Amino acid sequence: MVKALFEINPALDRAALAEEFARNKRIQIRDFLTRETAEEIRNILSQQTPWGIAAQAGIADPPGPQQVLPAQLRTPNGQRRLQELYKAVDDAVRGGDYGFRYAQFSLVQAVQKGFAPGGPHELLLEYINAPGFLDLVRDVTGLKELVKADGQATLYAQNHFLAQHSDSHVAEGWRIAYVMNFTIDDWKPDWGGHLVFHNEDGDIIEGYRPRFNALNMFLVPQLHSVQYVAPFAPVGRYAITGWVRDR
């Protein structure tokens, strides 16, 4: 039986990780949780999470991502709206604009709107804001002023992606973007879904393969994207993502 839902790996060398982060202001920390708790979170994401869809096509009106909630996906109108969103995203990115689509379950909304009171998703948000995780982020990044984190569960399935952008919401307190990976154990490079970083010419200068129990973190803003997940990839690029903030 799992003793805790979210347990930081005590063997992490935080001083060495801080040195690595200082070089490029980004890092992938492997085995950041104990194996037991990481497997439990993967089970929550793969078996106990009602997925909706988040999508954005260019400069949206209204602004921000559009959501199709799990209950809506079970209706004809919801499926029709989903198809319209997917086409709009394709058209936007084909024309060189920003866009994304992926499966989503917002941990913040789950708490605010009472999707599943007392359930594991509420506990996950509590753990992300507990001293264990926040201290790890502070220790590795050197940003002692970080005070809280938001979070969403994400699933990049076939044909999902996140186009190049920079996460430039520094005025809103965003300092560190994070991705906790809970994918299948042996995600193949050809399946896509890599978190990649770009220079101003659009070249990829570094990338992280989806890797079970790995924590990606990077200082924002930085140009980055999540590569298109191939149609032949298995379902399984599960993650918890968000931003750690200073306010």
pLDDT in tens, the chain (247 residues): 456 799 999 999 999 999 999 999 999 999 999 999 999 999 999 999 999 999 999 975 556 789 999 999 999 999 999 999 999 999 999 999 999 999 999 999 988 888 878 789 999 999 999 999 999 999 999 999 999 999 999 999 999 999 999 987 766 889 999 999 999 999 999 999 999 999 999 999 999 999 999 999 999 999 999 999 999 999 989 999 999 999 9
What is the model's pLDDT at position 1? 46
What is the model's pLDDT at position 123? 94
What is the model's pLDDT at position 37? 97
What is the model's pLDDT at position 60? 59
Distance CA 87, CA 199 (A): 29
What is the model's pLDDT at position 61? 55
Residue with tokens 């689509």, as numbered in its chain: 101
What is the model's pLDDT at position 3? 61
Architecture of the domain delimited by 14-188+213-245: Sandwich (2.60)
Domain ranges of the chain: 14-188+213-245
Half-sphere exposure in the Cβ direction for 176 (13 Å, CA): 30
Dihedrals phi, psi of 25, to nearest 5 degrees? 60, 35
Q: Which two tokens stand for residue 83?
A: 């198809």
What is the model's pLDDT at position 118? 79
